[in-house]
Amino acid sequence: MKTITFTLLTFVMFNADAITVEIFADKDNTLYETAAGDLSNGAGEYFFAGRTNQTVGQSIRRGLLHFDLASLPAGAVINDVTLELNTTLSNNLPTTVSLHDLTSSWGEGTSDAPGGEGSGTTATTGDATWTQNFFGSSSWLAPGGDYNIISLASASVTSVGAVTFNHPSLTTQVQNWLTTPVTNRGLIVIGDENTSSTAVRFNSRENAAGQPKLIIDYDLTIAVQAEFNPVKDNTLYETDTGNTSNGVGDRLFIGKTGASAGFKKRRAVLEFDLSSIPSVATIDSVQLDLQVTNTAPGAISFDADLYLLLDEWGEGTSIGSGNGDSATTNDATWLHNFFNTSTWNNEGGDFVLLESGSTSVGTSNGETISFASTGDMVADVQLWVQNESMNHGWIILGDELTDQNARGLSSREGLNPPVLTVDYTVPDLIFENGFE
């Protein structure tokens, strides 16, 4: 009998509709092109992007923006992000402005440029400048700021007023910042730097109106931990006739026994019914635990490997031990995925040759061996959840080089059946009808 246990790790009650919030910049600044790197505008009412009509080498302006995402709940799934800026001055429209994610942190000091602020003012301690990310203490790796060359989003500025930036890459970047806050170093705003008099002046966070803001649409999620026992399992016994199995036996076997020469290998197959996990779930981690029941005298430790099966297979009514039993209809055997009706493409089972997981097996009966979560195991389970027809389970291979080094493992019919633990998250709307 299959057992499924659910443990709710985090449960958030909320309407199934997505949530939209506005987050205003918590710091901004302008990089004014100068060889000395001593100009800034940390506390000014404006920031700039593009090129002025000043002397070459002093004319480029780049804006810096940063948004604190701490108000967003951990685990939120971000659906869409729009950056809204307000321009109040530009002399040569239309012009294109692009956003790039910064790769170094930077500062906002107390500098406050006079007049229209286009020429900046003397930087103060901690300000970002053309050459320094923190004035007086550290420099950019490259003058003009450290950022990824590939743009996250761009927009055409055609007149004064609101300018919006929206692109899937921007949404992905903000999700990454939320997931890994240490990577949130903000955005650099870059205009047309090849054409004179294309600089655009935007309202900064210190302005009385039109401050920079992110408009973020997101869903809440629920974290779930579920435990599954196999819905079926079996052992493939190496034989030339393919007529040996152990469908309902209380043990699985892996490794190499001391049986007749050439017919010593044992491989365990197991499959889990994951239909209770919603297809929209994101699998976060996976662990498979099995208990050792039989260890041969003089056995040595080895690594067992877990592989993704590529074909469906069966569990009949055969019941045996380390040497198996006569296969019954639909049993999986060394040659057959379903006894007497269909065969594997390869003797010993059809599976992906690159292991999904690996674990050390010791020499003690009663020990639990654990296949700890790997990216491939997570990918396997994610595949099964999204496409149930692809779920053929895993095959476990032990030490197939050393005679008399096989292991017996408790099967689903045994006292301590295998346990697959799956941690996953789902959007809160999945639970709307059941909990609201």
Centre a 10 Å sphere on the Cβ of residue 353 and count the other Cβ atoms it contains.
Answer: 6
Residue 91: predicted pLDDT: 82
What residues does 61 pair with on adjacent strands? Answer: 32, 50
Centre a 10 Å sphere on the Cβ of residue 429 and count the other Cβ atoms it contains.
Answer: 18
Identity (one letter) of the amino acid at 34? T
pLDDT digits (tens, 9 = 90+) for 46-79: 999 999 999 999 999 999 999 999 999 988 889 9
In total, the chain counts a number of residues equal to 436
Q: Is the pLDDT of residue 430 over 50?
A: no
Over residues 310-314, mean pLDDT: 98
pLDDT digits (tens, 9 = 90+) for 268-295: 999 999 999 999 899 999 999 999 999 9
Task: Give residue 317's pLDDT band: very low, low, confident or very high (50, 70, 90).
Answer: very high
Q: Is the pLDDT of residue 15 over 60?
A: no
Of 347, 319, 312, 315, nearest to 329 by C-alpha is 315
pTM: 0.64
> What is the distance, to the nearest Å, from the Cα of residue 383 to the centroid of all Cα atoms in its chain?
14
Ordered DSSP codes for 346-396: STT--B-SS-SEEEEE-S-TTPEEEE---HHHHHHHHHHHH-GGG---EEE
Over residues 133-161, mean pLDDT: 97
Centre a 10 Å sphere on the Cβ of residue 267 and count the other Cβ atoms it contains.
Answer: 24
Half-sphere exposure of 285 (CA within 13 A, CB side): 9
Q: In this structure, are residues 164 and 156 in contact, taking their beta carbons and an 8 Å threshold? A: no
Of 320, 312, 226, nearest to 269 by C-alpha is 312
Identity (one letter) of the amino acid at 304? A
Q: CA-to-CA distance for 399 and 224, rounded, in angstroms?
A: 35
Q: Is the pLDDT of residue 4 over 70?
A: no
Ordered DSSP codes for 289-319: EEEEEEE-TT---EEEEEEEB-S-----S--
Sign of the dihedral defined by the CA atoms of residues 179, 183, 186, 191, in that order: negative
In the chain, where are the structural domains located?
18-219, 225-435
pLDDT digits (tens, 9 = 90+) for 234-261: 999 999 999 999 999 999 999 999 866 6
Over residues 160-164, mean pLDDT: 95
Q: CA-to-CA distance for 119 and 98, rounded, in angstroms?
A: 21
Task: Give residue 159's pLDDT band: very low, low, confident or very high (50, 70, 90).
Answer: very high
102 phi/psi in degrees, rounded to 5? -80, 145
More confident residue, 426 or 121: 121
According to DSSP, the β-strands at 325-326 and 302-308 are: unpaired
Contacts of 300 (CB under 8 A, 6+ apart): 363, 399, 402, 405
Over residues 26-49, mean pLDDT: 97
Q: CA-to-CA distance for 314 and 86, rounded, in angstroms?
A: 65
Q: Is the pLDDT of residue 12 over 50?
A: no
Q: CA-to-CA distance for 422 and 298, rounded, in angstroms?
A: 35
Half-sphere exposure of 156 (CA within 13 A, CB side): 3
Local structure of residue 140 (DSSP, 8 states)? -
